[in-house]
Amino acid sequence: MKCNKKYDFFAYQKRNISPVLLREIENHIAGCDKCRNVSMQVKLLEMAINEQKLIRPDAFMSQRIVAKITNRQSFAGILRPMPAFAIIILLALFVGIGIGIFATKSSQQTIEVFSWNDQEQEVIEMAFLNEN
């Protein structure tokens, strides 16, 4: 069944509406499956919310909070976990780049290797060719 009525079932569940509207909704949901279901689901949701409202932090939480903040204060600006981690990563990066540059430079050193194809030899080779 399609029903376009838009009642506030949250207010209805708390009986936070006028007696006239209350009677109207009650008459309506008696004959409307969809609205009866919504009203029931809203009631269940209210119960779930009320249940969650009963949750309290444990008795020592405030002590833990104060201890954590005091602890943090004593380390303030010196070695907080995130900056320390960032510094280590940056140092590792610089050391890595340094090693890389040093290794590249040392491998680029020119070593003189004598070869038969050196320019001086070519002249002789040409001389042999000319002889033939």
Partner 1 sequence: MDDFSFLLEHIKNNNEQAFVRLVEAYNGMVFQLAFSFLKNTEEAEDLTQDVFLSVYENIGQFRNESSLKTWIYRITVNKSLNRQRKLKWCRFFRPIGSVPSDDKNLITEDTNPQYAVLNKELKAKLTNAIDNLPERQRTAFTLYKYQDLGHQEIAEIMGLSVSAVESLIHRAKQNLQAALAEFR
In the complex, the residues that contact partner 1 under the rule CB under 8 A are 6, 8-10, 34, 37-38, 41-42, 44-45, 47-49, 51-57, 61-62, 64-66, 68-70, 72
Kindly tell me which of 52 and 108 has the beta carbon lying closer to partner 1: 52
Buried b (16+ CB within 10 A) or exposed e, 43-68: eeeeeeeeeeeeeeeeeeeeeeeeee
Q: Distance from CA of residue 2 to its chain's centroid?
A: 43
Shortest distance (Å) from residue 44 CB to partner 1? 6
Kindly tell me which of 44 and 91 has the beta carbon lying closer to partner 1: 44
Kindly tell me which of 22 and 38 has the beta carbon lying closer to partner 1: 38
Shortest distance (Å) from residue 57 CB to partner 1? 4
As a 3-state breakdown, the chain gives helix, strand, coil percent values, each rounded to 5, of 70, 0, 30
Shortest distance (Å) from residue 78 CB to partner 1? 16
* Inter-residue contact 20 to 27 (CB < 8 Å): no
